[in-house]
Amino acid sequence: MKLLFLLFVGIVLYLIAKGYKTEKFENIKLNVKEKFDGDLMNHEAGLLVALMAKVAKADGQVCDLEAEMLKHTFTDISRHFENSDEIREKLKVIYSKEKESFDNTLEICEKLYKITKNHYQKRVKIIEYLLNLAFIDKEFSQTEFMIAEDIANALKIKRTDFENLINAFENFYREQKENKALSLDKAYEVLESNKDDDNNTLKKNYRKLVKQYHPDIVSGQGASQSIIDDATKKLQEINEAYELIKKDRGI
């Protein structure tokens, strides 16, 4: 259906634009609502959630980011139905049931293919969404690859399209990791520290710099306004660097 196609596209594009920060997920607003009282395992919504369950459990566990994405998916899909609360609960039941076994994965794909047979790009977006779920913990295991590959083949996704999607996600997370490394290097430089320093040494260096650049202290030394302004900017940089390192170290 056009409705869910727009939903898939919107979610994927939003996540890409936001760097997959699911805590900032923005609901997609559509005015048209569907009334559905049948078996959701004969509907795109239920079949998508069923496949999400397979992918989420492919590596044996569901991380916090995956759980957050699943929660938002249940909410946003159900919002496009008149009986949204009922649909959301049914989607949760489908997820709980389908994550227990991979035995019926191809059967689910066959149903979804019949519904989307004439909409190839929709199926590509479905695979893109499933890969997003698999990559969201920044690890793409061999098991996740295998289940995604089986689904892609069953949905008759061209091999080149499947590989291009995987390459796009791998490049995205590689660049993200490299940018983080560069940011951390800069943060240690700002704190006049290095990665081998223990937490106590890091804290001492931070406190020393805060005393050196705190605008009240600089002002008390009779500095000019321009020097005070520079010190204020430097202190902000010091605080940001310290918070980044603390987050990276988990302290």
Q: Map out the domains of the chain as residue ranges.
A: 2-157, 187-249
Among 116-120, 150-154, 166-170, 210-214, whose mean pLDDT is lowest? 210-214
Residue 115 has a pLDDT of 93
Kindly state the tokens that stand for 9: 């596209």
> Is residue 4 within 8 Å of residue 91, measured between CB atoms?
no
DSSP code at position 34: B
Strand partners, 34: 81
Residue 32 has a pLDDT of 61
CATH number of the 187-249 domain: 1.10.287
- Nearest CA among 187, 193, 189, 239 for reference residue 213: 239
Mean pLDDT of 89-107: 95
Determine if the pTM surpasses 0.85.
no
- Does the structure show a pLDDT above 80 at 151? yes
- Nearest CA among 210, 181, 199, 175 for reference residue 250: 199
- Find tokens 């397979």 and name the residue: 54
Residue 226 has a pLDDT of 87
Mean pLDDT of 27-56: 82
Q: How confident is the model at residue 229 (pLDDT cuts 50, 70, 90)?
A: confident
Q: How confident is the model at residue 219 (pLDDT cuts 50, 70, 90)?
A: confident
Residue 203 has a pLDDT of 93
Better-scored residue on pLDDT, 67 or 154: 154
Q: Which segments of the chain does DSSP mark as H helices, in order?
A: 2-17, 44-56, 64-78, 84-98, 105-115, 120-135, 142-154, 159-190, 199-213, 215-220, 225-249
Residue 218 has a pLDDT of 81
Q: How confident is the model at residue 86 (pLDDT cuts 50, 70, 90)?
A: very high
- Taking CA atoms, 230 is separated from 234, 235, 236, 239, in Å, by 6, 9, 10, 14
